[in-house]
Amino acid sequence: MSSVSSPLRSRLPEAVTIVEVGPRDGLQNEQEIVPTDVKVEFIERLGAAGLKVVEATSFVNPKWVPQLADAAEVLDKLDRKPGVRYPVLVPNERGLDGALKAGVDEIAIFASATESFSTRNLNRTRDEAFEMFRPVVERAIGSDLRVRGYMSMVLGDPWEGDVDPAEVARQGERLLELGCFELSLGDTIGVGTPGRVQELIEAFANADIGPSRLAVHFHDTYGQGLANVLAALESGITVVDASAGGLGGCPFAQSATGNLATEDLVWMLDGLGVVTGVDVHKVAETSAWICERVGKDIPGRVARALRA
């Protein structure tokens, strides 16, 4: 790892935790169903690369996300590595039932900062969605599960345009008050820029929610993913979501292209001397491997460069 001494480095955290979302957020948008054994190997490869949080799957209705219909089988076959967390996304109590049966110890719930996306993604208003989440979180915490919250469309919405940062903070505060230990702020369609990212984090600070309760989840639609991460780190964020190979998107927001590639993120952080514990070469190899399995070119630039 390089040793960097600069004004920029002095404004960044010593270490960053990367939440790998490729097996869930990355694969849920694929047109073809990925075989269960491939999913399991993908997750295990990511853990072997040093990633300590790998979001494994989602217990969602297979009618809406058929790509993840094998959630229980994936978790049953998975060789869970000590020291690695394997959270799963659950949309409702039925999903929680499946997650509990599979023996998970961490779940995530997924809300929207805007009414438009909430009605399209969850078929509920924001208020209705929170009423759906309440018993999920209560039961999960009662079963000693940790609950992470996702907030989508935090920097822009394809139907509503720009989103007021203060409104995002209000909606995010509701998720934290339900009992979420952490809130991941998602720029679902990738329209954010560094200044707007810092403005959003400041809005949370004004609501007495510091960066230690927040994470960021950026899509790279307009090529702003890494710049936005850097802006978030300067504002005190230490948890960043990313997807191996840059796979992903959102099946309910067609303007949402791929996630920020994990290997691109690690390359930047390595160059800044920020500790991640992740082997960039192993992640890049895994990214190339999974892209071959799903039949697409590698979106992540570092994986392409290292392979060349």
Residue 191 has what pLDDT? 94
Domain coordinates in residue numbering, the chain = 15-307
Which pLDDT tens digit goes with each residue over 79-107?
999 999 999 999 999 999 999 999 999 99
Please report, rounded to a whole number, the percentage of residues in the chain having pLDDT higher than 90.
86
Which pLDDT tens digit goes with each residue over 180-196?
999 999 999 999 999 99
Which pLDDT tens digit goes with each residue over 266-308?
999 999 999 999 999 999 999 999 999 998 887 778 998 988 7
Closest listed residue to residue 148, CA positions, set 232, 214, 58, 218: 214
- Over residues 4-33, the mean pLDDT reads 92
Please report, rounded to a whole number, the percentage of residues in the chain having pLDDT higher than 70.
96
Least confident of 41-45, 152-156, 212-216, 292-296: 292-296
- Average model confidence (pLDDT) across the chain: 93
Residue 250 has what pLDDT? 55
Q: Please give the CATH number for the structural domain made up of 15-307.
A: 3.20.20.70
Residue at 94: amino acid letter: R
Whether the pLDDT of residue 172 is over 70: the answer is: yes
Let me know if 250 is a catalytic residue: yes
Residue 249 has what pLDDT? 63
Whether the pLDDT of residue 227 is over 60: the answer is: yes
- Over residues 167-182, the mean pLDDT reads 97
Residue 299 has what pLDDT? 75
Residue 279 has what pLDDT? 98
Residue 1 confidence class, pLDDT cut points 50, 70, 90: very low
Which pLDDT tens digit goes with each residue over 40-86?
999 999 999 999 999 999 999 998 899 999 999 999 999 999 999 99
**Which one of the listed residues 68, 113, 250, 284 is annotated catalytic?**
250
Q: Does the reported pTM lie above 0.85?
A: yes
Whether the pLDDT of residue 256 is over 70: the answer is: no
